[in-house]
């Protein structure tokens, strides 16, 4: 969901907006140099200008405010700053738009707790309350909306293990021309969600049932196959593997599979080679290191310890 193309798209919508110009400069510095003091200073400057504009209602164009807000969330997350606290304000702006649903859909994906770690703000349950009950594919996540309905239900505490097990994409979707391996990655999300429901702390000790270990093995088979296919075909959909592979990596104790996940993260985030708290690879390496030492550590507790909020998508 967040990538360089996102920055280009939303940046082009509001490049003349002062905080956005500053945010794009900050993003480029983060891409080149990681969380360097210079880059972080530009991020702080961009956020300060944006918040000042928001409070002062200097900009009355809601589309520009939303585009800027989405961009600010992205840049703040990349810098390791808290960002989910902005979602409530962005939702209010989206609701005031003439055509609110497209922006509400995007916000719903950002608000989905099932793939957020270290979150310090309360969930808004946007998908469950404003987006559920529709068919087709969500253009922001490239996932079927019926599957997203189940993921949102999992966040609310509903027991949906069996419903996930039985889930299949709508016939109307299956009959359309889909990119290769699309069905496989959708089922990877289904399997990962089943594990998340069964082991919400994403710790291997929570997998007490052979059913769960079978699902984990199946998930690894799917994500490994999907990744190799993407590499072979130079697919633009490589990033969709992130959440399923993080779920699988948190629940496995096999070093070979952890190494595979580390290689995937290195290829997906080549500019994040050095240690950085907001770097997903750094977070996973620390998680695995602590677990090898016998320490009970979860990904979410580690993110909170490092004071970062990350969207794993």
What is the per-residue pLDDT for 274?
54
Q: Supply the range of the domain harboring residue 217.
A: 117-311
DSSP state at residue 117: E
What is the per-residue pLDDT for 1?
40
Range among 17-21, 73-77, 91-95, 242-246 rated most confident:
242-246
In contact, 309 and 84? CB cutoff 8 Å: yes
pLDDT band at 276 (very low <50, low <70, confident <90, very high): low
Do the domain assignments include residue 82?
A: no
What is the per-residue pLDDT for 312?
86
State mean pLDDT over 283-291: 93
pLDDT surpasses 60 at 220 = yes
What is the per-residue pLDDT for 197?
92
Do the domain assignments include residue 301?
A: yes
Do the domain assignments include residue 71?
A: no
What is the per-residue pLDDT for 123?
93
State mean pLDDT over 245-259: 95
pLDDT surpasses 90 at 190 = yes
Helix (H, G, I), strand (E, B) or coil at 293: coil
State mean pLDDT over 295-306: 94
pLDDT band at 56 (very low <50, low <70, confident <90, very high): low
pLDDT tens track for 62-80 = 777 788 888 888 888 878 8
What is the per-residue pLDDT for 42?
84
Helices (H), 57-113: 62-79, 87-95, 101-110
Do the domain assignments include residue 225?
A: yes
pLDDT tens track for 8-51 = 555 565 666 777 777 778 878 877 777 778 888 888 888 887 77
Do the domain assignments include residue 57?
A: no
Beta strand ranges found along 49-180 (DSSP E): 116-117, 137-138, 143-144
pLDDT surpasses 50 at 2 = no
pTM for the structure as a whole = 0.89
Do the domain assignments include residue 265?
A: yes
State mean pLDDT over 227-251: 91
Burial of 6 (0-12, 13-18, 19+ CB in 10 A): middle
State mean pLDDT over 120-136: 94
Do the domain assignments include residue 89?
A: no
* 248 token code pair: 């699988």
Do the domain assignments include residue 190?
A: yes
State mean pLDDT over 124-148: 94
What is the per-residue pLDDT for 4?
54
> Which residue from 310, 256, 254 is spatially nearest to 281, judged by alpha carbons?
310
What is the per-residue pLDDT for 9?
59
> Which residue from 59, 213, 240, 51 is spatially nearest to 147, judged by alpha carbons?
240
Mean pLDDT of the chain: 85
Higher pLDDT, 54 or 56: 54
pLDDT tens track for 199-210 = 989 999 998 789
Number of folded domains that form the chain: 1
- Which of 55-59, 117-121, 223-227 has the weakest average pLDDT? 55-59
């Amino acid at each position: 969901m967040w990538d360089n193309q996102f920055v280009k798209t939303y940046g082009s919508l509001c490049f003349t907006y002062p905080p956005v110009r500053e945010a794009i400069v900050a993003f480029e510095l983060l891409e080149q140099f990681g969380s360097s003091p210079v880059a972080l200073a530009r991020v702080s400057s961009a956020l300060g200008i944006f918040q000042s504009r928001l409070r002062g209602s200097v900009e009355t164009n809601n589309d520009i405010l939303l585009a800027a807000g989405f961009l600010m969330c992205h840049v703040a997350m990349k810098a390791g700053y808290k960002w989910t606290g902005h979602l409530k304000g962005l939702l209010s702006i989206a609701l005031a738009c003439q055509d609110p649903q497209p922006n509400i859909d995007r916000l719903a994906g950002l608000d989905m707790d099932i793939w957020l770690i270290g979150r310090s703000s309360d969930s808004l349950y946007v998908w469950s309350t404003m987006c559920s009950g529709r068919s087709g594919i969500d253009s922001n996540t490239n996932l079927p909306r019926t599957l997203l309905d189940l993921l949102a239900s999992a966040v609310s505490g509903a027991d949906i293990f069996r419903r996930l097990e039985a889930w299949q994409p709508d016939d109307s979707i299956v009959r359309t021309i889909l990119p290769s391996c699309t069905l496989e990655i959708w089922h990877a999300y289904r399997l990962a969600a089943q594990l998340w429901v069964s082991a919400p702390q994403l710790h291997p000790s929570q997998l007490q049932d052979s059913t769960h270990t079978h699902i984990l093995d199946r998930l690894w088979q799917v994500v490994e196959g999907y990744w190799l296919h993407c590499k072979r075909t130079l697919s633009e959909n490589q990033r969709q593997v992130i959440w399923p592979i993080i779920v699988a990596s948190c629940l496995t104790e096999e070093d070979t599979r952890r190494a595979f996940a580390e290689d995937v993260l290195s290829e997906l985030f080549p500019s994040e080679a050095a240690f950085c708290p907001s770097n997903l690879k750094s977070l996973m390496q620390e998680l695995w290191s602590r677990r090898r030492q016998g320490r009970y550590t979860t990904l979410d507790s580690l993110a909170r310890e490092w004071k970062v909020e990350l969207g794993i998508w």
